[in-house]
Chain A
C-alpha cells in the first residue's frame, strides 16, 4: 500500500524525465503530454496495490510509450478498443524493463525538453509560461493568475508558443559537448527567470509566485543531479537557495518590504542556507568562476553575517568587481555602489552611479538607491525628486509603498536613514 500523496509527488517530480523521454519517442509535445497523463492515471490505479516501482520515472516512460503506441495502432487498424484490463495489466513486464533503463539517458531528454521551452524565438514571458506548463505541470489557470492575465489569454499564449515550437526545426539528436554547454547556459537562464518571476512577488498572488521559486529550485536540483560537475549550475542552485531562504523575512505582516538590513535573520531558512553554502563549496573547487557562482558568493556573505554590521562589505565589493569584469552591466555596477557606500560613504557611491543614469533611466532600483544616497548626504530636495521617480517606476504596490515610506520620512525629519537596497 502506497500513500496517495507520495504517489502524487512522485508523479510531479518525475514529470521532466518522463515528458522528456516521451518527447524523444514521439517528437510531438501534445502526444507526449497525453501519454504522460495516461501513464499517471495507470500509476494511480496500480501503485497503491503493488507498491511503487523501483524507478517511478522509468515505469512511467514505458507505460506512457506503450499507451501512445497502442493508441496509434488502434487508429491505424480502426478496430474496436481492446479490453482496458488487457493493456493496463502489463506492469510486471514493464517493471523488469524499466529497471534496465539507464538513468544517463534522462540527461539529454530533460535538457532537450527545457531547451525547447527556452526557444530563442519565444519572448521570455512565454518561455517561462511554457516551461511552467510543460515541465512543471502547472495548470493554465495557475500560470494565468501569476501573470495577472485571464485564463483564455494564457491558454492562447501557450498554444501559440507550442505551435511556434512545433514549426521550428527542433533537433532531436543527442547534443554534442559544445552544444550541450550552450544549451545548459540557456536553460540555466530560463530557470533563473522562473525564479525571479516568483521572487519579485506581486501582492495578490504571493503563494503562487512563491511556488515559482520552489519549482525553479526543484529544476536546478534536477540539473545538478544530471550534471554534477558543472560549477555554474551549482552556483545557480546556491544563488536561488540563498535568496529564497530570506523569503519569510522579506515582508512584514502588513505586506510591506523589509530591507535586508532590517530583516529578522532568525526567520531566514537555515536549511536552505546550509544547502546553498554547501553547493558553493563544491562549485569553488572547480576553480572556474562564473556569474552565478559570484552572485551566490555575494548572497553567501550576507547569509554568513549574523548581524547586518558583521557583513563583509569589502568581500562583497571584490565579488561585484569580478562580476563587472565577467558580465559588465549597469545593474551590477549599481549593486556594487551599495557596497561602496558601506565602505567609502555615500559620496563616493553617488559619484559611481551618476554615469549609469542614461542607461538606467527606466530602472526602479536606480532611483531608489540614488535617493537613499542623497538622503544620507542630507541633499533632501534632490532625494525627494529621486524617490518620486522611483515610485513612478515601481513594479509592485509594495515597492511603491516602500519608497513612499522614505518620502514620509524625509518630511518628518532630515536625519540620515537606511538606504534603499538593490536586489538582495
Chain B
C-alpha cells in the first residue's frame, strides 16, 4: 500500500522563515528523505508554493478563482503533478479532469517549488 503523507503547518509561520531557517529545515528533512530513498521507499515528493500562488477551478458553476481551495464540504481525494508551461495550461488540464469526473468539486492548482522524483518506488 502506498501512503500519501500531506504536510500541514501554519503558512504565516513557514512564510516568515528566513532563508537560513528554511535551509536548516530542508537539511533535516533531507536526512529523512535519504533514509527512505536508501530503503527504496521514497516516491515523488513535492513542496508546494504558498497558497497565495494558488488558483482554484470550481466545477459548478465553472469558475476560476484566485486563491486556494476553501470549501470545507469537500475532501481532498488525491493529487496530480503535471508539467505545464503556464497557469493557463494547468487550468486546461484541471478542466479536462473535471470533465472526466462526475459531480461537483474543485481543483486547486498550486505551483511547486521543489520536486524530488524519488528513487525507491517504481
Partner of A282, one of B10, B13, B55, B114: B55
Bound-state Cα–Cα, A237 to B49, Å: 13
Q: Is the beta-carbon distance between B12 and A281 smaller than 8 angstroms?
A: no
* Interface SS of chain A: helix
The minimal Cβ–Cβ distance linking A351 to chain B, given in whole angstroms, is 37
The minimal Cβ–Cβ distance linking B63 to chain A, given in whole angstroms, is 12
Q: Is the beta-carbon distance between B12 and A10 smaller than 8 angstroms?
A: yes
The minimal Cβ–Cβ distance linking A266 to chain B, given in whole angstroms, is 15
Partner of B87, one of A12, A214, A224, A285: A285
- Answer whether A56 and B10 are a contact pair too, CB < 8 Å, given A221-B15, A228-B67, A271-B114: yes
Partner of A225, one of B16, B52, B55: B52
The minimal Cβ–Cβ distance linking B33 to chain A, given in whole angstroms, is 17
- Answer whether A279 and B87 are a contact pair too, CB < 8 Å, given A13-B12, A13-B15: no
> Which residues from A are CB-within-8-Å of B13?
6, 9-10, 13
The minimal Cβ–Cβ distance linking A1 to chain B, given in whole angstroms, is 16
Interface size on B, residues (CB 8 A): 25
> Which residues from B are CB-within-8-Å of A13?
10, 12-13, 15-16
Q: Is the beta-carbon distance between B12 and A279 smaller than 8 angstroms?
A: no
Partner of A275, one of B10, B49, B65, B86: B49
Q: Name the residue among B10, B53, B113 with the largest chain A CB count within 10 angstroms.
A: B53
> Which residues from A are CB-within-8-Å of B67?
225, 228-229
Q: Name the residue among A10, A214, A228, A269 with the largest chain B CB count within 10 angstroms.
A: A228
> Which residues from A are CB-within-8-Å of B53?
275, 278-279, 282
- Answer whether A278 and B87 are a contact pair too, CB < 8 Å, given A225-B51, A229-B66: yes
Bound-state Cα–Cα, A220 to B87, Å: 21
Q: Is the beta-carbon distance between A275 and B114 smaller than 8 angstroms?
A: no
- CB-CB contacts of A1-43 with B at 8 A, as 1s and 0s? 0000010011011100000000000000000000000000000
Q: Does B18 contact A (CB under 8 A)?
A: yes
Q: Is the beta-carbon distance between B17 and A271 smaller than 8 angstroms?
A: no
Interface size on A, residues (CB 8 A): 29
> Which residues from B are CB-within-8-Å of A57?
12
The minimal Cβ–Cβ distance linking A144 to chain B, given in whole angstroms, is 21
* Interface SS of chain B: mixed
Partner of A281, one of B16, B64, B87: B87
- CB-CB contacts of A186-219 with B at 8 A, as 1s and 0s? 0000000000000000000000000100100010
Within 200-254 of A, Cβ neighbours of B (below 8 Å) are at 211, 214, 218, 221-222, 224-225, 228-229, 237
Q: Does A274 contact B (CB under 8 A)?
A: yes
Bound-state Cα–Cα, A237 to B65, Å: 18
- CB-CB contacts of A93-129 with B at 8 A, as 1s and 0s? 0000000000000000000000000000000000000
Q: Is the beta-carbon distance between B50 and A285 smaller than 8 angstroms?
A: no
Bound-state Cα–Cα, A12 to B17, Å: 11
> Which residues from B are CB-within-8-Å of A56?
10, 12
Q: Does B19 contact A (CB under 8 A)?
A: yes
- Write the residues of chain A forming the contact surface with B, with a CB cutoff of 8 angstroms: 6, 9-10, 12-14, 52, 56-57, 211, 214, 218, 221-222, 224-225, 228-229, 237, 269-271, 274-275, 278-279, 281-282, 285
29 A-B pairs with CB atoms under 8 Å apart are A6-B13, A9-B16, A12-B16, A13-B10, A13-B15, A14-B12, A52-B10, A56-B12, A218-B15, A221-B15, A221-B52, A224-B52, A225-B51, A228-B66, A228-B67, A229-B67, A237-B52, A271-B114, A274-B49, A275-B49, A278-B53, A278-B87, A281-B86, A281-B87, A282-B55, A282-B87, A285-B64, A285-B87, A285-B88
